[in-house]
Structure 1
Amino acid sequence: MNRNWVIVIVAGLIEVLWALGLKHSTNWWSWAGTALLIYLSFVLLVKATKTLPVATVYAIFTGIGTAGTVVVEMVVFGVPFSWTKVFFILLLLSGVLGLKLVTNESSKKEGAV
């Protein structure tokens, strides 16, 4: 896994934090922190798309964000556990993993370093 894929994963994990911030922010500081996390995640996302395919990067970014948000909501905030949710998260993650596996050097942007 190269450095740019690590950046995508970090951006996806930050997306989980800001998505939770959208729901749970209650004051000016928490909203400012949420805005900062949104900015940071998209800066990292743009950086990764300079050398990796945009469609795959965005799918992975949103997949991490979606799955992570659902899991954190269930584990930390007491949203009821559901095997159906777990099934669909695993289905989503298998699609994201499949996209990553079929993205090879030839599908990267031309002229990228």
Structure 2
Amino acid sequence: MNVEWIKVYIAAFFEVFWVIGLKHAESFWPWTGTVIAIVISFYLMIMAGRKLPVGTVYAVFVGMGTAGTVLADIVLFGEPLQLPKILLIAVLLAGVIGLKLITDDHSEKGVES
């Protein structure tokens, strides 16, 4: 697995935390954690975008972050589990996986093989 894709996955993981933090943070430490998660998330996404196609990086980042946030809402905050919601997440993830599979990791100029 390409190290740059691992950066995208970790960035999406932290995206889930900062999105949840934006909704639930009410004091200094939760807001501090939210800001740290934002910085880590965007830093890793930007670093990966320097070597991978930016459009694909962004689509994978947002898709995984969206799916993770919806699942976190269900698991952590008691959001109702609805079949249409799960099916739509599956379609979203299928698109993200498809984009990742058809993307040439070395398609950007200046990327060494």
TM-score normalised by the shorter chain: which range applies?
over 0.9
> How far apart are the structure 2 equivalents of 1:112 and 1:90?
32
> Counterpart of 2:31?
31
> Counterpart of 1:50?
50
Greater Cα offset, 63-72 or 97-106: 97-106
> How far apart are the structure 2 equivalents of 1:29 and 1:20?
14
> Counterpart of 1:96?
96
Runs of 4+ in 1 over 3 A off after TM superposition: none
Deviations 1:34-90 (A, max 9, x none): 011101100001100110000000000001110000001001110011000000000
Q: TM-score, normalised by structure 2?
A: 0.95
Matched residues, number: 112
Superposed CA RMSD in Å reads 1.0
Q: Percent identity?
A: 46
User: Can you give the 5+ residue segments of structure 1 that lack an aligned partner in the other structure?
Assistant: none
Q: TM-score, normalised by structure 1?
A: 0.95
> How far apart are the structure 2 equivalents of 1:55 and 1:97?
14
